[in-house]
Amino acid sequence: MRQAGRYLPEYRAVREKVDFLTLTKTPELAAEVTLQPIRRYPLDAAILFSDIMTPVEGMGVRFDFQPGPVVADPIRTPADIDRLRLADPRESVPFVLETIRILRRELPPQVPLIGFAGAPWTLFCYLVEGHGSKTFVKAKAFLFAHPEAARRLLDRLAEAMAAYLRAQAEAGAQALMLFDSWAGLLSPWEFRGFALPAVQKTLGSLQDLNLPLIYFPNQGATLLADAARSGAHVLGVDWRLPLSRAREIAGPALAVQGNLDPAALFAPPQELDRQIRRVLDEAGATPGHVFNLGHGIERHTDPDAVARLVDRVHEWTQGKYGG
């Protein structure tokens, strides 16, 4: 999940100088805020600082952050889909690829860099609804009214995100993650019928890279058995489902990532420890667990709580995964 962000004073210092959009498009600054948490904490991996909307600008979608994404001309009819271009990421997002190249030089060699993209259904939500929403009812109404056009749009987004992630890998990303923030708004039927095939297309086309592929279907407790067929090697799990249960559902071939409640970082130290312990216990003794928050880190999180979390996880897993 997100490592950089407003909970870090050094991030806020950068943001006082530039707006969010500029930050995502300026390689030196995007690399800097990616590195900030790595300098502060002995993290085992870094995740690229960017936004899931960044690559869709190259498809011809105009948007702004207010502070969430607001799309200038949302897709409201099947014909609107034809406006979307498939761009070469080297031309449409050279700044992201340059950020990755800087990071591979600057990151300590033992800290791999995770690249990422938004999953097709989640991007579909923003492109059709036009902005954030609790229910994304316009996006769902489009699915229901125009199922074939919806699949065409999801397919195009799947192709674009596959190219985007491949370009990230070629620039040096050592693992790739697909964030499906709004997967959990779908019933299992709509997930299987629309969101999942698009994820399978994206991840399926990246298998030859031989990099770990991570899929996070947010609020996906009821979708996990299907998500296990996504082509990902690792499934992200929010804090609503115990990891022991997630492992049962996902099967032994997949690793799981998660799933500490981000609110646990607001707990007193002993309670935070107890909840960390619980995640580790539920993950079990076998390998195949990437410790992480179950969702993005909260704005008012105390950086010292994050330090304690990182230390505890290292202390309590010493030797567990071979050191």
User: Catalytic positions, please?
Assistant: 2, 6, 15, 51, 126
Burial of residue 118 (CB within 10 Å: 0-12, 13-18, 19+) is buried
Which pair of tokens denotes residue 312? 């505890």
Q: Other C-beta atoms within 10 Å of 255: how many?
A: 19
Helices marked H in the chain:
9-17, 20-25, 27-40, 89-92, 94-106, 120-129, 137-145, 147-171, 188-190, 196-204, 224-227, 243-250, 269-283, 303-317
Closest to a copy of itself by CB, 22 or 187:
187
Closest to a copy of itself by CB, 104 or 152:
152
Q: Shortest Cβ distance from residue 108 to a copy of itself (Å)?
A: 32
Exposure string over 121-137, b if 16+ CB within 10 A, otherwise e? bbbbbbbbbbeebeebe
Q: Which amino acid is at 231?
A: G
113 bridge partner residues: 46
Q: Shortest Cβ distance from residue 190 to a copy of itself (Å)?
A: 8
User: What are the respective helix, strand and coil percentages of the chain, to the nearest 5?
Assistant: 55, 15, 35
List of residues contacting a copy of itself (CB under 8 A): 135, 137-138, 140-141, 144-145, 147, 184, 187-189, 219, 221-222, 239-242, 245, 261-264, 266-268, 271-272, 275, 278, 298, 300
Closest to a copy of itself by CB, 171 or 260:
260
Q: Shortest Cβ distance from residue 221 to a copy of itself (Å)?
A: 5
Residue matched to tokens 């991007």: 123
Q: Which residues contact 322 (CB under 8 A, 6 or more apart)?
A: none
Closest to a copy of itself by CB, 168 or 218:
218
Closest to a copy of itself by CB, 86 or 141:
141
